[in-house]
Amino acid sequence: MDPFRAYRVFEKQGKVTAHLDRVTLDDLSEGDIVLRTVWSDINYKDALTATGKGKIMCRFPMVAGIDVAGYVASSTDSLVQQLTASRLTESVK
């Protein structure tokens, strides 16, 4: 997958910072689902975390922005794979 932009939150020596970063999948923590994002935003809790005022994230670096719309690009979760295939089939009919 080509590099993409992500709003990432970092912690260094107790100070929290955030900025747009150019990353690849290899830069991210492991997970079950990869989304091809069409639209995302930063909500209030993301902003609190990015300023260091909210203690919502427990590990760093982390991609902020849980409000997302897009498509499942890949998943290791069999339930997600079944739902995605089922949904795609319904869309094609």
The SS3 of residue 62 is: strand
Q: What is the residue extent of each domain of the chain? A: 4-92
* Residue spans of beta strands (DSSP E) within the chain: 4-12, 15-23, 33-41, 62-63, 67-75
Residue 92, pLDDT score:
41
Does the reported pTM lie above 0.75?
no
The CA distance from 85 to 70, in Å, is 15
**CATH (residue range 4-92):** 3.90.180.10
Burial 29-55 (b: 16+ CB within 10 A, else e): eeeeebeeeeebeeeeebeebbeeeee
Q: What is the pLDDT of residues 4-48, one digit of tens each?
A: 998 899 999 989 899 999 999 898 887 778 888 888 888 888 888
Instruction: State what percent of residues in the chain have pLDDT above 90.
Output: 12
The CA distance from 51 to 49, in Å, is 5
With the CA atoms of 8, 41, 37 and 86 taken in that order, what torsion angle do they form, in degrees rounded to the nearest 10?
Answer: 130
